[in-house]
Amino acid sequence: MSVWCKKFRFAWIDGSLVECEKAQVHVLTHALHYGTGVFEGIRGYWNGENLYVFRLREHMERMLVSAKMVGLKLDYKVEQLVDATVEVIKANGFKENIYIRPIAFAGEGTISLDISGVPVRVAITAFPFGHYLKPEGVRVKIVSWRRIPSFSLPISAKATGIYLNSVVSLAEAKKEGYDEAVLLDWRGYISEGSGENIFIVRKGVIATPPVTASILEGITRDSVIKIARDLGYTVEERDITRDELHSANEAFMTGTAAEITPIVEVDGKPVGDGKPGPITIKLQKEYGDIVMAKNKKYMEWLTPVY
């Protein structure tokens, strides 16, 4: 039995619900060999009364853009993928916090690098999920690998093959005893974490690297920019130097899996006084309330499942 089948009963594959044990692919699946897939990471939050999926539509929109960038022809509209996600969550009957993983990938038929004739498959799985990074704060290392630039790959796509860049970076950070990696872009400016965007706070002003710093344009990043501005903070999207990260008063990471995670140490140096800063804590609390449907102002970001 797959370890996954202890966590969920049904997957959604190519339009139908499939028992977990049957949710399999052939070893000659194109995407397995060449990284020809695009995917999403989405969270669903159970607040005791209903399960709310956070920014589901925006995630599915990004997946369709990713597919276009990579050249995978997807025959689904955003609404169909949204409905399929709700269907698979309901089928599993989850009443707890979950992670949702849609993926579209080049299937079987060829070992050629030409994907124009390869069937594209789509799967959506969901399973119970807790914290990805320590919510009380992580120690990060600026690793020696650079984030893949947009002149080498369409990095606005959340594509499977691109993640090898993250895998080797995280391995380097972990090997040296850190919790997470930070990558510089090709120019030497701060880009992002292995699976998160980065923010710093200096003298009360919040800043995050721009889209041109080889980042994945995170949906949590977008949410945090909006929430912070709504709270009255100034948020700048601008290049950030390594030195500015080292000397920031506060720093944090954002991502669907990471949510808002304080950075308490960079390259062995404490960020601020080495504890999560007040603005980070405030944003963490606000974000937590929003995803749990406790803040009516942001209800349009939530899709109720039941």
- The site for ligand PLP (CB under 6 A) is made up of 41, 166, 192, 195-197, 216, 218-221, 254-256
CB of 205 to ligand PLP, least distance (A): 21
State the catalytic residue, choosing from 158, 175, 294, 296: 158
Return the number of other C-beta atoms located less than 10 Å from residue 214's C-beta.
26
Closest CA to 179 of 215, 135, 214: 135
What is residue 159's DSSP assignment?
Answer: B
Chain centroid to Cα 161, Å, comes to 15
When the beta carbons of 10 and 259 are compared against ligand PLP, the nearer one is 259
When the beta carbons of 36 and 197 are compared against ligand PLP, the nearer one is 197
- What are the contacts of 145-151 at 24+ separation with CB within 8 A? 145/169, 145/172, 145/181, 145/183, 146/183, 146/184, 146/185, 146/186, 146/191, 147/183, 147/184, 147/185, 147/186, 147/191, 147/192, 147/213, 147/214, 147/215, 148/214, 149/185, 149/186, 149/214, 150/214
When the beta carbons of 8 and 132 are compared against ligand PLP, the nearer one is 132
Two tokens, residue 27: 């070893």
CB of 178 to ligand PLP, least distance (A): 17
Residue type, 259: E
Residue type, 118: V
When the beta carbons of 195 and 262 are compared against ligand PLP, the nearer one is 195
Two tokens, residue 60: 């599915």
CB of 225 to ligand PLP, least distance (A): 11
CB of 28 to ligand PLP, least distance (A): 27
Residue type, 40: E
When the beta carbons of 205 and 211 are compared against ligand PLP, the nearer one is 211
Residue type, 116: S
Return the number of other C-beta atoms located less than 10 Å from residue 48's C-beta.
6
CB of 1 to ligand PLP, least distance (A): 29
CB of 78 to ligand PLP, least distance (A): 16
> Would residue 203 show up in a list of annotated catalytic residues for this protein?
no
Two tokens, residue 81: 């993928």
Sequence-ordered list of residues with C-beta below 8 angstroms from that of 122, at least 6 positions apart, any chain: 13, 14, 74, 76, 81, 102, 103, 104
When the beta carbons of 118 and 165 are compared against ligand PLP, the nearer one is 165
> Would you name the residues annotated as active-site residues?
158
